[in-house]
Amino acid sequence: MAIMKLKRSSLVSQGSVFRMIQTADEAWKRRDFQQCFESLERASRLDPANPGLLFMLGQRYGLRYDYAAAERCFDKAVRLAAKKSEALATAGQLSADFASHQVAEHYFQQALDQKDPTPETFARMAELYERLHRLEDAAKLVEQALQLDANCALARLTQARLSRQAAHLEEAEKTLRPVLGSAQREMRIRGYYELGTILDRQGRCDEAMASFLEAKAMLLPDAQLLPAQVQANRIAGKKTLADFTVETMHRWFDFGSQLQPLRRLAFLGGHPRSGTTLLEQVLDSHPDIVSAEETQVFVDDALNPLKRNLPGGAPIAYLEAAQTDALQQARTRYFHAMELCLNKPIGDRLLIDKNPSVTLFLAAFIRIFPEIKILIALRDPRDVVLSCFMQCYVPVTSSCAPYLSLEATTEGYAHTAEEWKILSSMIKNPWLEVRYEDVVADLESVSRRVLDFLGVSWDSSVLRFDEHARGKRLRSPTYADATQPVYKRALGRWRNYQKYLEPVLHRLEPFVKALGYE
């Protein structure tokens, strides 16, 4: 949902608000949050009757975990808006986007209490409830949306997901088909991804692949510039990794005695779709563990401020140059921001930072947190590539651009696997690789081994991780699967699509052999 259009008073000097917004956007891209907020606050003071500015400011506060400030901005925007129901729905969607589901529910409910709620508002609240695993509530809201508009694409898409989760696959497909002709391009794309998932569950693999390819084709125009950016990032990553040595990594590990207090911290990484979400949910169900799922906290609050204070040169240069005080401040900022993000205290519990996308930041993690332990999720590379290809990523960004073709997905996997192999041979930190297939085959045995590695006592609650996960809003695209007991249907799924994978199997073969998946 787009933020409501900015409305400028005639008393505001021409162009001044626009320039402040530009400054704020540029600062946000640099991750200079203080300047971003200062610019938007000035713009809002200059044009105080502009609800669009307040929504923008509230969104940015929410993305930085200041939910109270976000609510203040949203409340003021709603008071100023001409259409209350529209403004409340906007506040609800923005809150859902930055994962404050309680705030989102609050605004959506107010929007539905207005005299003119739209079908889309019912559908968006249903989608929120589906993500929160409140499936009966979601189903009721979908019905209300469809009573108002039988062709509401979002309502039909959500209803199809609910039917799929209930294993009513034929009903799910029938419900979804009209979405594929929606006037809304994003709904069509999401619809084809969902149809592919439904068809895959039915064993109709050729039809499923055709549906996924249709979704990719619609996304390609949005990604024209991204392959070059992805390639540039990979080249930079390889160059950065080449700067590190065994001596450097060992020295940084040994420096840990000078950084106090020691923190209970573990990093959970690996290539996306390697079983990181399943392992995280198992561990997060332990009372002595708290996990953070795919946040930008480390990069935004520990690494980037350190980099800004020590500008210039390759990453190893500013990491090496960082003095003890600067590293201590980075550690403090990280845990403070993480508690804001989680909206709860961490205390003495072990924090697990799960983020497959920042595996290559491990060297920086070790510099700032030498005491960190490392978990790496592994899975049959062929299943990883297929699963990444099948996931819905809308809108497309540089992080998911490699998943628009099997060839690009394969190259992304190879890049991550090769860099982890190099880095693992250099680090002194304790690390443990955990196979998805082993977790599925014997959850208790693997859980005991992982907890022992982390220095955490056994607790049988980890075997009921699915119950724990149903009380959370998960960011992962496989959020629904994480609320189910361990299942085996995804093991060896690549064989159903072998003919489509044939052009890339030779590239994956070295990793298949190295990991023992022959």
Residue 374 sits at φ, ψ, to 5 deg, of -125, 125
Q: Which has the closest alpha carbon to 64: 18, 116, 103, 28? A: 28
The pTM score is: 0.90
Q: Which has the closest alpha carbon to 175: 164, 165, 183? A: 164
Kindly report the CATH class assigned to 226-481: alpha beta
Residue 183 has pLDDT above 70, yes or no: yes
Alpha helical stretches, state H, 290-352: 297, 304-309, 315-321, 324-342
- Which residues are CB-neighbours of 459 under 8 A, at least 6 positions away? 286, 287, 288, 451
CATH tag for 1-113 (out of 1.10.150.20, 1.20.1050.10, 3.20.20.70, 1.25.40.10): 1.25.40.10
Residue 182 has pLDDT above 60, yes or no: yes
118-223 is a CATH 1.25.40.10 domain: yes
Give the CA radius of gyration of the chain.
Answer: 24
- Reported as a single tens digit per residue, the pLDDT across 25-83 is 999 998 999 999 999 999 999 999 999 999 999 999 999 999 999 999 999 999 999 99
- pLDDT in the model for residue 468: 78
- pLDDT in the model for residue 208: 97
- Reported as a single tens digit per residue, the pLDDT across 258-311 is 998 999 999 999 999 999 999 999 999 999 999 998 899 999 999 999 888 776
Note whether 1-113 and 118-223 share their fold: yes
Give the residue extent of every domain in the chain: 1-113, 118-223, 226-481
- Which residues are CB-neighbours of 105 under 8 A, at least 6 positions away? 92, 125, 128
